[in-house]
A and B are shown apart, each in its own frame.
Chain A
Amino acid sequence: MIEMQNLWYAYPSGQTVLAGLNISIKRGEFVALIGQNGAGKTTFLKQLNGLLKPTSGVVKIAGMDTSRVKTAKLAQKVGFLFQNPDHQIFLPSVRQEIAFGPKNLGLPDEEVEARILQAAEAVGLTAVLDENPVFLSKGQRQRVAFASLLSMRPEILVLDEPTTGQDYRESIEIMEMVRELNEAGHTIIFVTHDMELVARYARRIILLRQGRVVVDGPVREVFYRPELLTATGLLPPQIVRLALMFGENSPLGRVLSVEEAYEAIVGWGGVAHDRCG
């Protein structure tokens, strides 16, 4: 679905941001892109829909070379959620805001209407469809922005820190929505600083540092190599750190969540109990 071959990117000022990336992401993957501020995460994301073009190397999205195709065209395949929803909201109602993308795609009115309703329902905005988004809360504005992408039905969703500025419950709600979309077949690539969210939702981690890939692999494997994370100033989730203290051979093993740890402990207790009996 996404192919990066020896991707280099430098700003016009000459500063290199991405240095020789070779990454392949298949349909239906759920990828977390992590790294410190300035590691090149946002620049990486902007390569995915042609907002930035490679200085050298190739980025292919569903077979389309991003340096040859316009962003407006790539937008049909790749939906991009920006950190700040206020950069895009400009219409006087939530309904119109959600309709902007599909209309740009030149879809017929009935189709646009159907997509508005579906997208609004997916993010829980049906009740405020006719309100002015400017007067909604920040969390709701983020959902408006999200719905305006969903209505374009892109196969790939690119989310730049989708949970910043949201409280815990809102964050979980947004990520649950993303999970459902992933289960429905969408490819997800998201940036976050919240390792608990990564452990809970993502299946693959790409860790960037100064424009290079430090490690690229399944979440469980990456989190259980803490030396890679600490080198870039990140810490694995608390439950992973706890499990690491007990070592690989403890009954906790390589758990990723509190639920898994609970299962492991209960299972182990059961075994011990049996042994006693």
Chain B
Amino acid sequence: MTGVAEYVHRESPIHALHPITKLIWSLSVVTMSFMFTDLMGQALLFLSVLLVAGLGRVLRETLPAFKALFLMAGLFTVFRVFFIQEGQTLLTLLPGTGLGRITDVGLRSSIELSCRMVVMAASFPVLLATTAVKDLVVTLVEKLRVPYIYAFMFVTSLRFIPTFLREMDQIAMAQRSRGYTGEGRNPFRKVVALAPLAVPLLISSVRKAQRMAISMETRGFASGTRSQLHRTRFAGRDSSFLLIVGVMFVAVIFIKTKGI
């Protein structure tokens, strides 16, 4: 079972890049998507993200994430379009009442905003698919001086998600064996019906956390300064990649200021 935005272990030029390089790329894409206002620019930027995903050979794995993004953006457009009432009316859902009026300004700005949303978020699935979270955290600690304990907490919480899912499965099975159906007509009863699943999960998670804390302490966690076994290093390909990103960035600024 591979979830959306999970690390895909593979040999590729993008995987070989330093995690910081990829992080910078990701943040640059977000920044550039803010600078563009027109659809053409956003589309080009999105294509560049797809290109990186292709180079990283994770296009197929990141596709579900992109699909989900487009779906969300679509819904967002539909909701937002009715709230902007300036400009000329293109269409009214309920003719004669003025309700559900779609204007040219509204439509345009909604679509633009949705596109920006997609482009902004698009680089993250690619980043996560080509970079192991562990490596990302190690570099955060090593290069960006994030305190190790925070980085550790972050990794641990991610690492526990599949464990909890498995636990939840077992709990659901145990309760079904006792005639539990999880049915409830009204919303209040539905919440009550969750208790047989939620309470054991909570109790077992607390127990698990306590056991983990003890086992970490007995192995000397946080008892002194840390050193790293593997050090990450910037290489020539990182410089070339960053150079390309830099050139793109400058080009975007140039185009914006000159107003071409």
Residues of A within 8 A of B (CB): 13, 46, 49, 51, 70-72, 75-76, 78-80, 82, 84, 86-91, 100-101, 104-105, 134, 148-149, 152
Q: What's the A-B contact tally at a CB cutoff of 8 Å? A: 69
Q: A82-B170, A88-B200, A90-B200 are in contact. Are A51 and B177 (CB under 8 A)?
A: yes
Q: A46-B173, A82-B173, A82-B174 are in contact. Are A152 and B200 (CB under 8 A)?
A: no
B 234-254 binary contact with A (CB < 8 Å = 1; else 0) = 000000000000000000000
Of B1, B167, B178, which one neighbours A148 at CB under 8 angstroms?
B178
Q: Do B171 and A88 have beta carbons less than 8 Å apart?
A: yes
Q: Do A51 and B173 have beta carbons less than 8 Å apart?
A: yes
Query: In whole angstroms, how far apart are the Cα atoms of A104 and B200 in the complex?
Result: 18
Residues of A within 8 A of B134 (CB): none
Residues of B within 8 A of A100 (CB): 178, 180, 196
Q: Do A86 and B207 have beta carbons less than 8 Å apart?
A: yes
Residue from the set A78, A89, A91 with the largest chain B CB neighbour count within 10 Å: A89
Of B173, B179, B198, B199, which one neighbours A101 at CB under 8 angstroms?
B179
Q: Nearest Cβ distance between residue B223 and chain A, in whole angstroms? A: 31
4 smallest beta-carbon distances between A and B, as pairs: A104-B179, A90-B199, A80-B177, A88-B174
A sample of 20 more A-B contacts (CB under 8 A), given A46-B173, A88-B200, A149-B178, is: A72-B179, A75-B177, A75-B178, A75-B179, A76-B179, A80-B174, A80-B177, A82-B177, A86-B203, A87-B167, A87-B170, A87-B171, A87-B174, A88-B174, A89-B200, A100-B180, A101-B179, A148-B178, A149-B177, A152-B178
Query: In whole angstroms, how far apart are the Cα atoms of A136 and B180 in the complex?
Result: 24
B 1-26 binary contact with A (CB < 8 Å = 1; else 0) = 10000000000000000000000000
Chain B interface main SS type: helix
Which residues of chain B (201-219) have a CB below 8 Å from chain A?
A: 203-204, 207
B 101-132 binary contact with A (CB < 8 Å = 1; else 0) = 00000000000000000000000000000000
Of B1, B175, B198, which one neighbours A88 at CB under 8 angstroms?
B175
Residues of B within 8 A of A82 (CB): 170, 173-174, 177
Q: Is B255 in contact with chain A by the CB < 8 A criterion?
A: no
Q: Is B195 in contact with chain A by the CB < 8 A criterion?
A: yes
Query: In whole angstroms, how far apart are the Cα atoms of A13 and B1 in the complex?
Result: 8
Query: In whole angstroms, how far apart are the Cα atoms of A82 and B174 in the complex?
Result: 7
Of A13, A79, A87, which one neighbours B204 at CB under 8 angstroms?
A87
Q: Do B179 and A152 have beta carbons less than 8 Å apart?
A: yes
Which residues of chain B (149-191) have a CB below 8 Å from chain A?
A: 167, 170-171, 173-181
Query: In whole angstroms, how far apart are the Cα atoms of A276 and B96 in the complex?
Result: 120
Q: Nearest Cβ distance between residue A81 and chain B, in whole angstroms? A: 9
Q: Nearest Cβ distance between residue A11 and chain B, in whole angstroms? A: 10
Residues of B within 8 A of A149 (CB): 177-178
Residues of A within 8 A of B198 (CB): 90
Query: In whole angstroms, how far apart are the Cα atoms of A78 and B171 in the complex?
Result: 17
Residues of A within 8 A of B204 (CB): 86-87
Query: In whole angstroms, how far apart are the Cα atoms of A67 and B71 in the complex?
Result: 35
Q: Nearest Cβ distance between residue B229 and chain A, in whole angstroms? A: 32
Query: In whole angstroms, how far apart are the Cα atoms of A200 and B188 in the complex?
Result: 50
Interchain residue pairs with CB less than 8 A apart (6): A72-B181, A78-B177, A82-B177, A104-B178, A104-B181, A105-B179
Query: In whole angstroms, how far apart are the Cα atoms of A78 and B177 in the complex?
Result: 8
Residues of B within 8 A of A88 (CB): 171, 174-175, 178, 196, 200
Query: In whole angstroms, how far apart are the Cα atoms of A275 and B176 in the complex?
Result: 64
Residues of A within 8 A of B196 (CB): 88, 90, 100
